[in-house]
């Protein structure tokens, strides 16, 4: 099974730019074309939050218009820039989304089970999961302790070392780690939010943070570092699961580069 992960699209109304600078709308179109042109067609695309920038209905309407060019099935989940109920309304035809409450769901129709957590806190930028969400996750994972499973949430549950991002991470990760760590069939935890590829061993599995299809957060590790971003490189993740080899994750950069040359 091949899963493509896109994250942090930050779609704006038609003709507007993300932060007044990045043409995030065009860059999503570039990302869709990139995914469609891969030499192996993904079975599924997962969008791990921040589909739009301000949670406005016109942003969601334009996101739907841009995503209509994607001929591969896709799943959505919210990030801190999304509005939970407006996202739910915009993707009302996505029957896996709960009709009320947080947008937790489980997709169990593929060789790999996908469990999505809504880590958003309305009105805030950090991530969290309440007792009810933890209970839902524990019960969902307990339904099958053998089948390969991927857990997805927007906020990374670890300290990255980038101070201005860590202030808005998943803040109390210990209870989540306790639940995830109790199950041995979790292939990976996928997240977004940080606009950079990051990897960490955590709770008996691996956490993989996906780059953004638009800007890249600057890698500034000094404690007093000022927030900054670069224009790219935009990228997506490709997660290849094989029954004999398990899960391998690749960064796939979006854009035109010299090559290919006949050497490696």
φ/ψ of residue 75, rounded to 5: -115, 145
What is the pLDDT, as a whole number, of residue 264?
86
Give me the pLDDT at residue 163, please: 97
Domains of the chain: 2-253 (3.60.21.10)
Place of tokens 């060019």: 69
Q: How far is 7 from 74, CA to CA, in rounded Å?
A: 12
Question: Could you tell me which of 250, 244, 261, 209 has the C-alpha nearest to residue 42?
Answer: 250
Burial of 225 from C-beta contacts in 10 A (0-12 / 13-18 / 19+): middle
Contact 102, 118 (CB under 8 A): yes
Tell whether the torsion through CA atoms of 220, 226, 22 and 63 is positive or negative: positive
Contacts 24+ apart (CB under 8 A), 197-203: 197/235, 197/237, 197/251, 198/156, 198/160, 200/156, 200/158, 202/157, 202/158, 202/177, 203/157, 203/176, 203/177, 203/178
Q: Record the tokens describing residue 28, joined without a space.
A: 């999503």
pLDDT of residue 43: 98
Distance of CA 86 to the CA centre of its chain: 18
Residue ranges of alpha helices (H) inside 4-73 are 24-36, 57-67
What's the chain's average pLDDT? 97
Q: pLDDT by residue (tens digit) across 17-76? A: 999 999 999 999 999 999 999 999 999 999 999 999 999 999 999 999 999 999 999 999
Q: Which stretches of the chain drop beneath a pLDDT of 70? A: none
Q: What pLDDT is stored for residue 60 in this prediction?
A: 98
Cα separations in angstroms, 146 against 75, 121, 242, 245, 246:
23, 31, 15, 16, 13
pLDDT for res 232? 80
């Amino acid at each position: 099974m091949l899963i493509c992960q896109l994250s942090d699209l930050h779609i704006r109304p038609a003709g507007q730019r993300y932060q007044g600078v990045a043409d995030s709308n065009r860059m999503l179109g570039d990302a869709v074309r990139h995914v469609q042109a891969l030499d192996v067609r993904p079975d599924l695309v997962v969008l791990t939050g921040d589909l739009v920038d301000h949670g406005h209905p016109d942003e969601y309407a334009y996101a739907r218009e841009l995503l209509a060019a994607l001929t591969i099935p896709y799943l959505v989940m919210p990030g801190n820039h999304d509005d939970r109920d407006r996202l739910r309304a915009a993707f009302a035809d996505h029957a896996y989304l709960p009709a009320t409450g947080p947008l937790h769901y489980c997709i169990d129709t593929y060789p790999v089970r996908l469990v999505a957590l809504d880590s958003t806190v309305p009105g805030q930028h950090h991530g969290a999961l309440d007792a009810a969400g933890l209970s839902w996750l524990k019960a969902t994972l307990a339904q099958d302790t053998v089948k390969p499973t991927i857990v997805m949430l927007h906020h990374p549950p670890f300290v990255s070392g980038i101070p201005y991002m860590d202030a808005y991470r998943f803040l109390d990760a210990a209870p989540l780690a306790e639940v995830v760590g109790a199950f041995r069939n979790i292939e990976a935890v996928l997240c977004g939010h940080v606009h950079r590829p990051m990897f960490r061993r955590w709770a008996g599995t691996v956490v993989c943070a996906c780059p953004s299809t638009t800007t890249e957060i600057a890698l500034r590790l000094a404690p007093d570092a000022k927030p900054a971003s670069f224009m790219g490189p935009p990228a997506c993740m490709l997660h290849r699961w094989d029954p004999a080899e398990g899960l391998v994750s690749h960064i796939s950069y979006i854009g035109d580069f010299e090559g290919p040359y006949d050497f490696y």
